[in-house]
Structure 1
Protein backbone atom coordinates (compact mmCIF):
# COMPACT_ATOMS: atom_id res chain seq x y z
CA UNK A 1 0.00 0.00 0.00
CA UNK A 2 1.31 3.43 -0.93
CA UNK A 3 2.05 5.75 1.95
CA UNK A 4 0.71 9.31 2.14
CA UNK A 5 1.19 10.92 -1.27
CA UNK A 6 3.81 13.62 -1.52
CA UNK A 7 3.25 16.58 -3.80
CA UNK A 8 6.04 18.10 -5.86
CA UNK A 9 7.06 21.58 -4.74
CA UNK A 10 7.06 22.87 -8.33
CA UNK A 11 4.08 23.34 -10.61
CA UNK A 12 4.81 21.33 -13.75
CA UNK A 13 3.13 20.71 -17.08
CA UNK A 14 2.35 17.01 -17.39
CA UNK A 15 3.17 16.31 -13.74
CA UNK A 16 2.41 12.77 -12.63
CA UNK A 17 0.93 13.35 -9.16
CA UNK A 18 -2.52 12.07 -10.16
CA UNK A 19 -1.05 8.95 -11.78
CA UNK A 20 1.62 7.85 -9.32
CA UNK A 21 -0.44 4.91 -8.03
CA UNK A 22 -0.79 3.50 -11.55
CA UNK A 23 2.87 4.12 -12.36
CA UNK A 24 4.19 2.70 -9.09
CA UNK A 25 2.07 -0.42 -9.58
CA UNK A 26 3.80 -1.06 -12.92
CA UNK A 27 7.35 -0.44 -11.67
CA UNK A 28 9.15 -3.62 -10.55
CA UNK A 29 11.43 -3.93 -7.56
CA UNK A 30 14.97 -2.73 -8.21
CA UNK A 31 18.02 -1.37 -6.41
CA UNK A 32 17.74 1.97 -8.25
CA UNK A 33 15.11 3.94 -10.13
CA UNK A 34 16.44 5.94 -13.07
CA UNK A 35 14.40 8.83 -14.50
CA UNK A 36 15.84 10.44 -17.64
CA UNK A 37 13.00 13.03 -17.58
CA UNK A 38 12.41 13.68 -13.89
CA UNK A 39 10.40 16.90 -14.24
CA UNK A 40 8.83 17.86 -10.91
CA UNK A 41 9.65 14.43 -9.46
CA UNK A 42 6.23 13.06 -8.44
CA UNK A 43 7.25 9.46 -9.20
CA UNK A 44 10.52 9.89 -7.29
CA UNK A 45 8.62 11.34 -4.33
CA UNK A 46 6.09 8.52 -4.22
CA UNK A 47 8.21 5.40 -4.68
CA UNK A 48 10.50 3.62 -2.25
CA UNK A 49 13.78 2.69 -3.92
CA UNK A 50 17.13 2.63 -2.16
CA UNK A 51 18.73 4.91 -4.74
CA UNK A 52 17.70 7.21 -7.55
CA UNK A 53 19.38 8.66 -10.63
CA UNK A 54 17.26 11.68 -11.59
CA UNK A 55 17.98 13.54 -14.79
CA UNK A 56 16.50 16.40 -16.75
CA UNK A 57 17.75 18.39 -19.74
CA UNK A 58 16.70 21.62 -18.01
CA UNK A 59 19.80 22.94 -16.17
CA UNK A 60 17.75 25.37 -14.05
CA UNK A 61 15.69 22.51 -12.66
CA UNK A 62 18.73 20.37 -11.80
CA UNK A 63 20.58 23.36 -10.34
CA UNK A 64 17.66 24.01 -7.97
CA UNK A 65 17.44 20.34 -7.00
CA UNK A 66 21.15 20.07 -6.24
CA UNK A 67 21.11 23.22 -4.12
CA UNK A 68 17.99 22.14 -2.24
CA UNK A 69 19.62 18.77 -1.56
CA UNK A 70 22.84 20.38 -0.30
CA UNK A 71 21.45 23.30 1.73
CA UNK A 72 17.68 23.05 2.19
CA UNK A 73 17.39 25.49 5.10
CA UNK A 74 19.18 28.29 3.23
CA UNK A 75 17.26 27.77 -0.02
CA UNK A 76 13.90 27.68 1.76
CA UNK A 77 14.74 30.74 3.86
CA UNK A 78 15.91 32.79 0.88
CA UNK A 79 13.09 31.68 -1.44
CA UNK A 80 10.47 32.62 1.14
CA UNK A 81 11.51 36.29 0.85
CA UNK A 82 10.09 36.32 -2.69
CA UNK A 83 6.63 35.10 -1.66
CA UNK A 84 5.20 38.41 -0.42
CA UNK A 85 2.38 40.60 -1.66
CA UNK A 86 4.97 43.21 -2.68
CA UNK A 87 6.62 40.77 -5.10
CA UNK A 88 3.33 39.45 -6.46
CA UNK A 89 3.02 42.39 -8.85
CA UNK A 90 3.32 42.30 -12.63
CA UNK A 91 6.10 44.91 -12.90
CA UNK A 92 8.15 43.22 -10.17
CA UNK A 93 7.66 39.81 -11.80
CA UNK A 94 9.08 41.05 -15.10
CA UNK A 95 11.99 42.76 -13.33
CA UNK A 96 12.84 39.53 -11.53
CA UNK A 97 12.38 37.50 -14.70
CA UNK A 98 14.94 39.75 -16.38
CA UNK A 99 17.33 39.30 -13.44
CA UNK A 100 16.88 35.53 -13.77
CA UNK A 101 17.73 35.70 -17.46
CA UNK A 102 20.88 37.79 -16.93
CA UNK A 103 22.39 36.62 -13.63
CA UNK A 104 25.41 34.30 -13.58
CA UNK A 105 24.87 33.42 -9.89
CA UNK A 106 23.60 29.83 -9.78
CA UNK A 107 22.22 30.18 -6.26
CA UNK A 108 20.24 33.35 -7.03
CA UNK A 109 19.03 31.79 -10.27
CA UNK A 110 17.73 28.75 -8.35
CA UNK A 111 15.76 30.89 -5.90
CA UNK A 112 14.31 32.96 -8.75
CA UNK A 113 13.41 29.80 -10.67
CA UNK A 114 11.12 28.76 -7.83
CA UNK A 115 9.63 32.27 -7.67
CA UNK A 116 8.96 32.29 -11.43
CA UNK A 117 7.49 28.80 -11.30
CA UNK A 118 4.93 29.77 -8.67
CA UNK A 119 4.16 33.28 -9.95
CA UNK A 120 4.25 32.62 -13.71
CA UNK A 121 1.29 31.71 -15.87
CA UNK A 122 -0.13 28.22 -15.31
CA UNK A 123 3.12 26.84 -13.86
CA UNK A 124 4.64 26.71 -17.31
CA UNK A 125 8.38 26.36 -17.87
CA UNK A 126 9.16 27.78 -21.28
CA UNK A 127 12.22 29.30 -22.93
CA UNK A 128 12.86 31.23 -26.12
CA UNK A 129 15.22 29.83 -28.74
CA UNK A 130 17.88 32.05 -27.16
CA UNK A 131 17.35 30.21 -23.87
CA UNK A 132 15.54 33.04 -22.07
CA UNK A 133 12.71 32.17 -19.70
CA UNK A 134 9.64 33.84 -21.20
CA UNK A 135 6.55 32.74 -19.25
CA UNK A 136 4.20 35.71 -18.58
CA UNK A 137 2.94 36.84 -15.17
CA UNK A 138 0.31 34.52 -13.70
CA UNK A 139 -1.91 36.97 -11.79
CA UNK A 140 -2.47 34.69 -8.80
CA UNK A 141 -4.05 36.21 -5.69
CA UNK A 142 -1.54 34.65 -3.30
CA UNK A 143 1.00 32.18 -4.70
CA UNK A 144 1.61 29.23 -2.38
CA UNK A 145 5.03 28.86 -0.80
CA UNK A 146 5.77 25.09 -0.77
CA UNK A 147 7.96 24.88 2.32
CA UNK A 148 6.73 21.48 3.54
CA UNK A 149 7.03 19.98 0.06
CA UNK A 150 10.58 21.35 -0.29
CA UNK A 151 11.60 19.79 3.02
CA UNK A 152 10.22 16.40 1.97
CA UNK A 153 12.02 16.66 -1.37
CA UNK A 154 15.30 17.68 0.29
CA UNK A 155 15.17 14.75 2.71
CA UNK A 156 14.38 12.17 0.05
CA UNK A 157 16.98 13.63 -2.33
CA UNK A 158 19.75 12.45 0.00
CA UNK A 159 19.25 9.09 -1.74
CA UNK A 160 19.36 10.65 -5.22
CA UNK A 161 21.94 11.78 -7.74
CA UNK A 162 20.84 14.59 -10.06
CA UNK A 163 22.26 14.98 -13.56
CA UNK A 164 21.64 17.27 -16.53
CA UNK A 165 22.39 15.08 -19.55
CA UNK A 166 20.81 13.99 -22.84
CA UNK A 167 18.51 11.03 -22.14
CA UNK A 168 20.69 8.73 -24.26
CA UNK A 169 23.57 9.15 -21.82
CA UNK A 170 21.32 8.37 -18.88
CA UNK A 171 20.32 5.06 -20.49
CA UNK A 172 24.01 4.21 -20.84
CA UNK A 173 24.43 4.61 -17.07
CA UNK A 174 21.76 2.01 -16.30
CA UNK A 175 22.86 -1.39 -15.02
CA UNK A 176 21.24 -4.76 -14.46
CA UNK A 177 19.17 -4.49 -11.30
CA UNK A 178 18.02 -0.93 -12.10
CA UNK A 179 14.64 0.09 -13.52
CA UNK A 180 14.06 3.06 -15.87
CA UNK A 181 10.93 5.22 -15.87
CA UNK A 182 10.56 7.69 -18.75
CA UNK A 183 8.15 10.62 -18.79
CA UNK A 184 9.30 12.40 -21.96
CA UNK A 185 7.63 15.41 -23.56
CA UNK A 186 4.62 13.71 -25.10
CA UNK A 187 4.07 13.05 -28.78
CA UNK A 188 1.67 15.83 -29.88
CA UNK A 189 -2.02 15.04 -30.27
CA UNK A 190 -1.96 17.37 -33.30
CA UNK A 191 0.58 19.44 -35.19
CA UNK A 192 -0.56 22.57 -33.37
CA UNK A 193 -0.25 20.91 -29.97
CA UNK A 194 3.49 20.32 -30.20
CA UNK A 195 4.30 21.76 -26.78
CA UNK A 196 7.85 20.52 -26.32
CA UNK A 197 9.72 23.59 -25.07
CA UNK A 198 10.37 22.44 -21.48
CA UNK A 199 13.98 23.36 -22.16
CA UNK A 200 15.45 25.49 -24.92
CA UNK A 201 15.68 22.40 -27.15
CA UNK A 202 12.59 20.64 -28.46
CA UNK A 203 11.73 16.92 -28.36
CA UNK A 204 10.56 15.90 -31.81
CA UNK A 205 9.82 12.71 -33.71
CA UNK A 206 13.48 11.73 -33.99
CA UNK A 207 13.80 11.86 -30.21
CA UNK A 208 10.60 9.82 -29.77
CA UNK A 209 12.02 7.15 -32.09
CA UNK A 210 15.40 7.15 -30.36
CA UNK A 211 13.81 6.79 -26.92
CA UNK A 212 11.72 3.83 -28.09
CA UNK A 213 14.79 2.13 -29.60
CA UNK A 214 16.74 2.61 -26.36
CA UNK A 215 13.87 1.14 -24.34
CA UNK A 216 13.69 -1.92 -26.60
CA UNK A 217 17.45 -2.40 -26.36
CA UNK A 218 17.63 -1.89 -22.59
CA UNK A 219 15.03 -4.57 -21.96
CA UNK A 220 15.94 -7.07 -24.70
CA UNK A 221 19.73 -6.87 -24.73
CA UNK A 222 20.66 -5.53 -21.29
CA UNK A 223 17.92 -7.06 -19.11
CA UNK A 224 16.82 -3.67 -17.72
CA UNK A 225 13.06 -3.05 -17.42
CA UNK A 226 11.72 0.24 -18.84
CA UNK A 227 8.37 1.95 -18.29
CA UNK A 228 7.33 4.87 -20.54
CA UNK A 229 4.39 7.31 -20.28
CA UNK A 230 3.04 8.98 -23.42
CA UNK A 231 -0.12 9.88 -25.30
CA UNK A 232 -2.04 6.88 -26.61
CA UNK A 233 -1.59 7.38 -30.36
CA UNK A 234 -1.00 5.16 -33.41
CA UNK A 235 2.56 6.52 -33.42
CA UNK A 236 3.33 5.55 -29.82
CA UNK A 237 1.69 2.13 -30.16
CA UNK A 238 3.91 1.49 -33.18
CA UNK A 239 7.01 2.82 -31.42
CA UNK A 240 6.40 0.67 -28.33
CA UNK A 241 5.31 -2.45 -30.17
CA UNK A 242 6.01 -5.53 -28.04
CA UNK A 243 5.60 -3.69 -24.74
CA UNK A 244 2.78 -4.34 -22.25
CA UNK A 245 0.23 -1.52 -22.52
CA UNK A 246 -1.95 0.08 -19.86
CA UNK A 247 -4.42 2.75 -20.94
CA UNK A 248 -5.26 5.77 -18.79
CA UNK A 249 -7.48 8.82 -19.17
CA UNK A 250 -5.97 12.01 -17.79
CA UNK A 251 -7.34 15.52 -17.35
CA UNK A 252 -4.85 17.90 -18.88
CA UNK A 253 -4.54 21.49 -17.70
CA UNK A 254 -2.24 23.08 -20.30
CA UNK A 255 -4.95 24.58 -22.50
CA UNK A 256 -5.51 28.27 -21.84
CA UNK A 257 -9.23 27.73 -22.35
CA UNK A 258 -10.58 25.73 -19.41
CA UNK A 259 -13.49 24.45 -21.49
CA UNK A 260 -10.99 22.76 -23.82
CA UNK A 261 -9.26 20.80 -21.06
CA UNK A 262 -10.70 17.47 -22.08
CA UNK A 263 -9.42 14.09 -20.89
CA UNK A 264 -6.54 12.83 -23.02
CA UNK A 265 -5.88 9.14 -23.50
CA UNK A 266 -2.47 8.13 -22.16
CA UNK A 267 -0.51 4.95 -22.35
CA UNK A 268 1.91 3.23 -20.00
CA UNK A 269 4.26 1.01 -22.01
CA UNK A 270 6.22 -1.55 -19.97
CA UNK A 271 9.21 -3.31 -21.50
CA UNK A 272 9.93 -6.32 -19.28
CA UNK A 273 13.56 -7.36 -18.88
CA UNK A 274 14.92 -10.22 -20.91
CA UNK A 275 15.85 -12.46 -17.97
CA UNK A 276 18.55 -14.22 -20.00
CA UNK A 277 20.42 -10.94 -20.60
CA UNK A 278 23.28 -10.21 -20.31
CA UNK A 279 24.73 -13.54 -19.18
CA UNK A 280 23.08 -15.60 -21.90
CA UNK A 281 24.42 -18.01 -24.53
CA UNK A 282 25.82 -16.37 -27.65
CA UNK A 283 22.97 -17.65 -29.81
CA UNK A 284 20.20 -16.05 -27.72
CA UNK A 285 22.28 -12.88 -27.35
CA UNK A 286 22.31 -12.57 -31.14
CA UNK A 287 18.53 -12.98 -31.25
CA UNK A 288 18.00 -10.28 -28.62
CA UNK A 289 20.24 -7.90 -30.52
CA UNK A 290 18.16 -8.51 -33.65
CA UNK A 291 15.01 -7.53 -31.74
CA UNK A 292 16.65 -4.32 -30.54
CA UNK A 293 18.06 -3.53 -33.99
CA UNK A 294 14.61 -3.89 -35.54
CA UNK A 295 13.26 -1.42 -33.01
CA UNK A 296 15.44 1.31 -34.47
CA UNK A 297 13.85 0.94 -37.92
CA UNK A 298 10.38 2.21 -37.08
CA UNK A 299 8.69 4.29 -39.74
CA UNK A 300 6.15 7.00 -39.10
CA UNK A 301 2.58 5.95 -39.91
Structure 2
Protein backbone atom coordinates (compact mmCIF):
# COMPACT_ATOMS: atom_id res chain seq x y z
CA UNK A 1 0.00 0.00 0.00
CA UNK A 2 1.25 3.48 -0.86
CA UNK A 3 1.96 5.78 2.08
CA UNK A 4 2.14 9.60 2.18
CA UNK A 5 5.45 11.03 1.00
CA UNK A 6 5.14 14.16 3.16
CA UNK A 7 4.17 14.83 6.74
CA UNK A 8 1.27 17.29 6.78
CA UNK A 9 -0.54 19.26 9.45
CA UNK A 10 -3.50 17.12 10.49
CA UNK A 11 -2.31 14.05 8.56
CA UNK A 12 -4.70 11.09 8.80
CA UNK A 13 -2.42 8.05 8.87
CA UNK A 14 -3.34 7.21 12.45
CA UNK A 15 -7.06 7.65 11.81
CA UNK A 16 -7.31 5.47 8.72
CA UNK A 17 -9.17 2.62 10.51
CA UNK A 18 -11.77 5.11 11.82
CA UNK A 19 -12.22 6.66 8.38
CA UNK A 20 -12.20 3.39 6.45
CA UNK A 21 -15.05 1.83 8.41
CA UNK A 22 -17.23 4.87 7.74
CA UNK A 23 -16.76 4.96 3.97
CA UNK A 24 -19.80 4.40 1.75
CA UNK A 25 -20.17 0.90 0.35
CA UNK A 26 -19.68 2.21 -3.18
CA UNK A 27 -18.64 5.44 -4.85
CA UNK A 28 -18.76 6.62 -8.44
CA UNK A 29 -15.83 9.04 -8.17
CA UNK A 30 -13.52 10.13 -5.34
CA UNK A 31 -12.74 13.77 -4.49
CA UNK A 32 -10.34 15.12 -1.88
CA UNK A 33 -10.31 18.95 -1.88
CA UNK A 34 -7.83 19.39 1.04
CA UNK A 35 -5.36 16.77 -0.17
CA UNK A 36 -2.38 17.41 2.11
CA UNK A 37 -0.53 14.14 2.71
CA UNK A 38 -3.37 12.18 1.09
CA UNK A 39 -3.34 9.26 3.54
CA UNK A 40 -6.92 8.20 2.83
CA UNK A 41 -6.50 8.44 -0.95
CA UNK A 42 -3.30 6.39 -0.94
CA UNK A 43 -4.90 3.72 1.22
CA UNK A 44 -7.91 3.44 -1.12
CA UNK A 45 -6.34 4.07 -4.54
CA UNK A 46 -9.72 4.72 -6.21
CA UNK A 47 -9.88 4.30 -9.98
CA UNK A 48 -11.47 7.72 -10.58
CA UNK A 49 -10.32 10.62 -8.42
CA UNK A 50 -9.89 14.38 -8.43
CA UNK A 51 -7.30 15.57 -5.92
CA UNK A 52 -6.94 19.26 -5.18
CA UNK A 53 -5.21 21.53 -2.70
CA UNK A 54 -4.68 25.27 -2.49
CA UNK A 55 -0.93 24.73 -1.98
CA UNK A 56 0.59 24.86 -5.44
CA UNK A 57 3.98 23.49 -4.40
CA UNK A 58 2.33 20.39 -2.95
CA UNK A 59 0.31 19.77 -6.12
CA UNK A 60 3.44 20.27 -8.20
CA UNK A 61 5.22 17.58 -6.16
CA UNK A 62 2.42 15.11 -6.83
CA UNK A 63 2.41 15.93 -10.54
CA UNK A 64 6.14 15.31 -10.77
CA UNK A 65 5.79 11.99 -8.91
CA UNK A 66 2.98 11.05 -11.29
CA UNK A 67 4.99 11.89 -14.42
CA UNK A 68 8.69 11.33 -13.65
CA UNK A 69 9.36 9.68 -10.27
CA UNK A 70 12.79 8.35 -11.21
CA UNK A 71 14.02 11.77 -12.29
CA UNK A 72 12.84 13.12 -8.94
CA UNK A 73 14.81 10.46 -7.08
CA UNK A 74 17.92 11.42 -9.03
CA UNK A 75 17.40 15.12 -8.27
CA UNK A 76 17.06 14.40 -4.55
CA UNK A 77 20.50 12.78 -4.45
CA UNK A 78 22.20 16.16 -4.90
CA UNK A 79 21.26 17.74 -1.58
CA UNK A 80 23.53 18.26 1.42
CA UNK A 81 22.20 17.84 4.95
CA UNK A 82 23.66 20.98 6.47
CA UNK A 83 22.15 24.09 7.98
CA UNK A 84 23.70 26.25 5.26
CA UNK A 85 22.20 24.09 2.51
CA UNK A 86 18.82 24.12 4.20
CA UNK A 87 18.61 27.90 4.40
CA UNK A 88 19.99 28.30 0.87
CA UNK A 89 17.18 26.14 -0.45
CA UNK A 90 14.56 27.65 1.84
CA UNK A 91 15.36 31.22 0.77
CA UNK A 92 15.11 30.50 -2.95
CA UNK A 93 11.48 31.59 -2.93
CA UNK A 94 12.61 35.07 -1.81
CA UNK A 95 14.67 35.53 -4.99
CA UNK A 96 13.52 36.58 -8.48
CA UNK A 97 15.05 33.42 -9.94
CA UNK A 98 12.60 31.15 -8.15
CA UNK A 99 10.07 31.46 -10.98
CA UNK A 100 12.68 30.06 -13.38
CA UNK A 101 12.99 26.75 -11.52
CA UNK A 102 11.60 23.75 -13.36
CA UNK A 103 8.74 21.70 -11.94
CA UNK A 104 11.25 18.96 -11.14
CA UNK A 105 13.55 21.36 -9.27
CA UNK A 106 10.64 22.80 -7.30
CA UNK A 107 9.40 19.34 -6.38
CA UNK A 108 12.84 18.24 -5.17
CA UNK A 109 13.18 21.44 -3.11
CA UNK A 110 9.73 20.97 -1.61
CA UNK A 111 10.41 17.41 -0.51
CA UNK A 112 13.89 18.26 0.81
CA UNK A 113 12.61 21.17 2.91
CA UNK A 114 9.62 19.15 4.13
CA UNK A 115 11.89 16.40 5.43
CA UNK A 116 14.68 18.53 6.92
CA UNK A 117 12.71 21.39 8.52
CA UNK A 118 11.87 21.49 12.22
CA UNK A 119 9.28 18.81 12.99
CA UNK A 120 9.36 17.74 9.35
CA UNK A 121 6.60 20.13 8.28
CA UNK A 122 5.96 22.53 5.43
CA UNK A 123 4.94 25.98 6.65
CA UNK A 124 4.69 29.33 4.87
CA UNK A 125 4.24 32.93 5.95
CA UNK A 126 1.64 35.28 4.54
CA UNK A 127 3.91 36.15 1.61
CA UNK A 128 3.99 32.50 0.62
CA UNK A 129 7.64 32.01 1.67
CA UNK A 130 8.60 28.81 3.41
CA UNK A 131 9.46 29.82 6.98
CA UNK A 132 10.22 26.56 8.77
CA UNK A 133 13.45 26.43 10.76
CA UNK A 134 16.34 23.99 10.28
CA UNK A 135 15.59 20.67 11.93
CA UNK A 136 19.13 20.32 13.37
CA UNK A 137 19.42 16.75 12.17
CA UNK A 138 21.96 14.94 10.06
CA UNK A 139 21.15 12.95 6.96
CA UNK A 140 17.50 11.89 6.75
CA UNK A 141 15.70 9.68 4.26
CA UNK A 142 13.99 12.00 1.78
CA UNK A 143 12.01 9.13 0.27
CA UNK A 144 11.70 5.36 0.10
CA UNK A 145 12.15 4.18 -3.49
CA UNK A 146 9.55 1.42 -3.22
CA UNK A 147 6.98 3.73 -1.68
CA UNK A 148 7.64 6.56 -4.14
CA UNK A 149 6.92 4.16 -6.98
CA UNK A 150 3.75 2.98 -5.21
CA UNK A 151 2.65 6.62 -4.92
CA UNK A 152 3.44 7.05 -8.62
CA UNK A 153 1.21 4.10 -9.47
CA UNK A 154 -1.61 5.41 -7.26
CA UNK A 155 -1.49 8.81 -8.97
CA UNK A 156 -1.40 7.52 -12.54
CA UNK A 157 -5.19 7.70 -13.02
CA UNK A 158 -5.79 10.64 -10.67
CA UNK A 159 -6.49 14.18 -11.80
CA UNK A 160 -4.53 16.83 -9.88
CA UNK A 161 -5.28 20.54 -9.62
CA UNK A 162 -4.33 23.52 -7.50
CA UNK A 163 -7.77 24.79 -6.57
CA UNK A 164 -10.01 26.19 -3.85
CA UNK A 165 -12.05 23.50 -2.13
CA UNK A 166 -15.28 24.90 -3.61
CA UNK A 167 -14.06 23.68 -7.01
CA UNK A 168 -15.56 20.33 -6.01
CA UNK A 169 -19.01 21.80 -6.72
CA UNK A 170 -18.08 22.06 -10.40
CA UNK A 171 -16.64 18.57 -10.66
CA UNK A 172 -18.68 16.32 -8.35
CA UNK A 173 -21.65 14.32 -9.62
CA UNK A 174 -24.48 12.39 -7.92
CA UNK A 175 -23.06 9.20 -6.43
CA UNK A 176 -19.55 10.64 -6.01
CA UNK A 177 -17.80 10.65 -2.63
CA UNK A 178 -15.99 13.68 -1.19
CA UNK A 179 -13.63 13.59 1.79
CA UNK A 180 -12.99 16.96 3.45
CA UNK A 181 -10.04 17.39 5.82
CA UNK A 182 -9.94 21.17 6.28
CA UNK A 183 -7.79 23.14 8.73
CA UNK A 184 -9.49 22.44 12.04
CA UNK A 185 -11.65 24.81 14.01
CA UNK A 186 -10.14 26.00 17.29
CA UNK A 187 -11.78 26.56 20.66
CA UNK A 188 -11.24 30.32 20.43
CA UNK A 189 -12.27 30.48 16.78
CA UNK A 190 -9.24 32.45 15.58
CA UNK A 191 -8.68 30.11 12.68
CA UNK A 192 -5.49 28.38 11.62
CA UNK A 193 -2.68 29.24 9.23
CA UNK A 194 0.55 27.63 8.14
CA UNK A 195 0.44 25.47 5.04
CA UNK A 196 -0.90 28.22 2.72
CA UNK A 197 -0.74 32.03 2.76
CA UNK A 198 -4.30 32.35 4.04
CA UNK A 199 -5.79 31.18 7.29
CA UNK A 200 -9.03 29.27 7.78
CA UNK A 201 -11.41 31.27 9.94
CA UNK A 202 -14.90 30.49 11.17
CA UNK A 203 -16.23 32.35 8.16
CA UNK A 204 -14.31 29.84 6.05
CA UNK A 205 -15.80 27.00 8.10
CA UNK A 206 -19.28 28.37 7.37
CA UNK A 207 -18.51 28.62 3.66
CA UNK A 208 -17.34 25.01 3.70
CA UNK A 209 -20.61 24.05 5.41
CA UNK A 210 -22.49 25.71 2.54
CA UNK A 211 -20.47 23.64 0.04
CA UNK A 212 -21.44 20.51 1.98
CA UNK A 213 -25.11 21.52 1.87
CA UNK A 214 -24.96 21.94 -1.92
CA UNK A 215 -23.22 18.58 -2.36
CA UNK A 216 -25.89 16.94 -0.22
CA UNK A 217 -28.66 18.43 -2.32
CA UNK A 218 -27.05 17.26 -5.57
CA UNK A 219 -26.82 13.68 -4.32
CA UNK A 220 -23.11 13.42 -3.55
CA UNK A 221 -21.95 11.77 -0.34
CA UNK A 222 -19.34 13.40 1.83
CA UNK A 223 -17.38 12.87 5.02
CA UNK A 224 -15.49 15.51 6.96
CA UNK A 225 -12.91 15.47 9.75
CA UNK A 226 -12.76 18.44 12.10
CA UNK A 227 -12.15 19.44 15.70
CA UNK A 228 -14.81 18.57 18.24
CA UNK A 229 -15.89 22.10 19.16
CA UNK A 230 -19.36 23.43 20.01
CA UNK A 231 -19.19 25.60 16.89
CA UNK A 232 -18.68 22.63 14.55
CA UNK A 233 -21.35 20.58 16.29
CA UNK A 234 -23.87 23.42 15.93
CA UNK A 235 -22.91 24.04 12.31
CA UNK A 236 -23.38 20.40 11.24
CA UNK A 237 -26.22 19.48 13.59
CA UNK A 238 -28.42 18.39 10.67
CA UNK A 239 -25.92 15.67 9.75
CA UNK A 240 -24.39 12.61 11.39
CA UNK A 241 -21.70 13.62 13.89
CA UNK A 242 -19.47 11.11 15.71
CA UNK A 243 -16.83 12.09 18.26
CA UNK A 244 -13.51 10.25 18.32
CA UNK A 245 -10.17 10.52 20.12
CA UNK A 246 -7.26 11.22 17.78
CA UNK A 247 -3.58 11.10 18.81
CA UNK A 248 -1.71 14.37 18.34
CA UNK A 249 1.56 14.17 16.43
CA UNK A 250 2.78 17.76 16.12
CA UNK A 251 3.66 18.83 19.65
CA UNK A 252 7.31 19.72 20.12
CA UNK A 253 7.59 17.53 23.21
CA UNK A 254 6.56 13.93 22.47
CA UNK A 255 5.29 13.66 26.07
CA UNK A 256 2.73 16.34 25.24
CA UNK A 257 1.24 14.50 22.28
CA UNK A 258 -2.01 13.56 23.98
CA UNK A 259 -5.21 12.46 22.28
CA UNK A 260 -7.45 15.22 20.94
CA UNK A 261 -11.19 15.23 20.50
CA UNK A 262 -12.25 15.22 16.86
CA UNK A 263 -15.45 14.64 14.97
CA UNK A 264 -16.26 12.76 11.81
CA UNK A 265 -19.30 14.25 10.07
CA UNK A 266 -21.23 12.49 7.29
CA UNK A 267 -24.32 13.15 5.19
CA UNK A 268 -25.12 9.44 4.85
Please point out which of 49, 56, 75 is paired with 1:52.
49
Which residue in 1 is equivalent to 2:67?
A: 70
Counterparts in 2 of 1:191 and 1:203: CA distance versus 1, 3 Å:
closer
CA contact (8 A) 1:45 1:153 kept: yes
Which residue in 2 is equivalent to 1:218?
A: 215
Please point out which of 161, 165, 168 is paired with 2:166.
168
Q: Any idea what the Cα deviations from partners look like across 1:80-139, whole Å, max 9, x if unmatched?
A: 332xxxx11111110111125431213211110000000001122211111111100112
CA contact (8 A) 2:53 2:59 kept: yes
| 1:271 matched to 2:267 | yes
Q: Distance in 1 between matches of 2:39 and 2:10?
A: 11
CA contact (8 A) 1:119 1:143 kept: yes
Which residue in 2 is equivalent to 1:23?
A: 19
Counterparts in 2 of 1:24 and 1:211: CA distance versus 1, 3 Å:
same
Please point out which of 93, 108, 113 is paired with 2:86.
93
RMSD: 1.6
With structure 2 as the length reference, what TM-score do the two structures score? 0.92
- SS class of match (1:26): coil
Which residue in 2 is equivalent to 1:120?
A: 117
Structure 1: 5+ residue runs without aligned partners?
273-301
> 1:48 Cα deviation (Å)?
4.1
> 1:182 Cα deviation (Å)?
0.2
Alignment length, in residue pairs?
262
Please point out which of 154, 157, 174 is paired with 1:156.
154
Structure 2: 5+ residue runs without aligned partners?
none
Please point out which of 235, 248, 258 is paired with 2:231.
235
Deviates more, 1:247-256 or 1:158-167: 247-256
- SS class of match (2:204): helix
Bigger radius of gyration among the two: 1
- Displaced runs of 4+ in structure 1, greater than 6 A? none
CA contact (8 A) 1:35 1:181 kept: yes
Which residue in 2 is equivalent to 1:140?
A: 137
Q: Distance in 2 between matches of 1:99 and 1:217?
A: 41
Q: Any idea what the Cα deviations from partners look like across 1:233-280, whole Å, max 9, x if unmatched?
A: 1111111112112222111122223333221011100012xxxxxxxx
> 1:154 Cα deviation (Å)?
0.7
> 1:197 Cα deviation (Å)?
1.9
